[in-house]
Structure 1
Amino acid sequence: MKLHIKNMVCDRCILVVKQQLENLGFRAEAINLGAAVVEPEPDAAQLSAIGSAFKILGFELIDNEKDRLVAQIKSLIIEKIHHSDLTDSHLVFSQYLSTKIHKDYAYLSRVFSEAEDVTIEKFIIQQKIEKVKELLQYGELNLNEIAWKMNYSSSAHLSAQFKSITGLTPSQFKASGLAQRKPIDKI
């Protein structure tokens, strides 16, 4: 049985979900961001126990098709921005999402916007800015390198978008020394 799980945003989340399923007596046959295939198939009481155990850890079972779709969109975006190299290609997220999910982008966009009160484009921008904040805090790359790594057309474009989201320029953010980052699953 495939379980759809909300708030899985990193490899550690996968490990925690796998461990929790094993603690409850299930095998995770396949597990990735937002989903796990478990054996044996849980009954209603076991599903409730899984849901309760996940809730304590900040995860949530998703049973509604539209919620699953929104979670899948989020997982794909987070995976691409936070766990992949955006420099390999000039990715067009609308095409990427449509191809991966096998649905028209206009439909995906409408469902996402209705559920999240934010457009997919704005969600992508928010995720990219959080990744930029992380890279700025590491201090290993300069702004031009970060812009290139995050697939911005220029450091000026990145700076303008960063300021519109955070109210600070990248250099002001870095100079502040404050950890003003948001957890990925809270965006």
Structure 2
Amino acid sequence: MQEQTLYIDDMVCYRCILVVEQLLKEAGWKILEIELGYVRAIPPTANISLQGLSDGLRKVGLRLRQDGHNLITQVKGIIIEYVYDDLATMDIPLSEIIVREVEMSYSYVSRHFSSSEQRTIEEFYQLHRIERAKRLLFQTNTNIKSVAQRLKYKSPGHFSASFRKLTGETPSDFRAKGNYKPQPIDKL
């Protein structure tokens, strides 16, 4: 059997990878590689219909892309992984990480992202940083300086200013209110 590459929209986290992996295995596919936005796999038969797989993905909020590579899904996945990876280095700018991963110029990726999403990569990145900050402030006793460091802000002051700009309140005020409801990261 010949391997196929499947592009899947709306994969944004490791749970998405697990769900896609489970669906493919149940359908008899042999997975060679799976990443946010795509899967390389060998189908169970040579002339397989993708309709059943497409239906299964749709039921869990994902979509099999019929027209090839989905750059937007890949970029979103890179950003989300970067925001939630406490061990990611601050030495390499996010824009450089994106360029390395997608193997395209940042200006092209940025224009494509903005035109498709009606917001910039930076705006998407900031929304996810602030959402993660809210979770950390609400669910942990981590001090604001540590939250700023985990989210790769240059200083606690820069973090506080960004937080206030996007939420209308300081991180301390937000924590003191204690009434946060987490937002699904794939809906930001």
TM-score normalised by length of structure 1: 0.89
Alignment correspondent of 1:128? 129
CA distance in 2: counterparts of 1:23 and 1:165, whole angstroms: 43
SS at 2:12 equivalent: coil
Tell me the amino acid that sits aligned with residue 68 of structure 1: N
Alignment correspondent of 1:74? 76
User: What's the Cα RMSD here?
Assistant: 2.0
CA distance in 2: counterparts of 1:11 and 1:173, whole angstroms: 28
Tell me the amino acid that sits aligned with residue 55 of structure 2: S
Mean CA deviation greater in 5-14 or 95-104: 5-14
Give yes or no for contact 2:30–2:44 (8 Å, CA) kept in 1.
no
Alignment correspondent of 1:115? 116
Alignment correspondent of 1:33? 36
What do residues 28-72 of structure 1 show as CA deviations (whole Å, max 9, x unaligned)?
Answer: 22212222122127778621211111011011112345x701111
Give yes or no for contact 1:9–1:78 (8 Å, CA) kept in 2.
yes
Alignment correspondent of 1:17? 20
Stretches (4+) displaced over 6 A:
41-45
SS at 1:46 equivalent: coil
CA distance in 1: counterparts of 2:121 and 2:47, whole angstroms: 34
What do residues 89-129 of structure 1 show as CA deviations (whole Å, max 9, x unaligned)?
Answer: 33312222112211111110000000000001111111111
Aligned-pair identity (%): 35
Alignment correspondent of 1:83? 85
With over 3 angstroms needed to count, the CA separation of the structure-2 counterparts of 1:161 and 1:72, relative to structure 1, is same
Tell me the amino acid that sits aligned with residue 54 of structure 1: L
1:1-187 correspondence runs (5 A): 1-40=4-43, 46-65=49-68, 68-86=70-88, 88-187=89-188
TM-score normalised by length of structure 2: 0.89
CA distance in 2: counterparts of 1:11 and 1:160, whole angstroms: 30
Mean CA deviation greater in 172-181 or 110-119: 172-181
Unaligned runs of 5+ in 1: none
With over 3 angstroms needed to count, the CA separation of the structure-2 counterparts of 1:97 and 1:52, relative to structure 1, is same
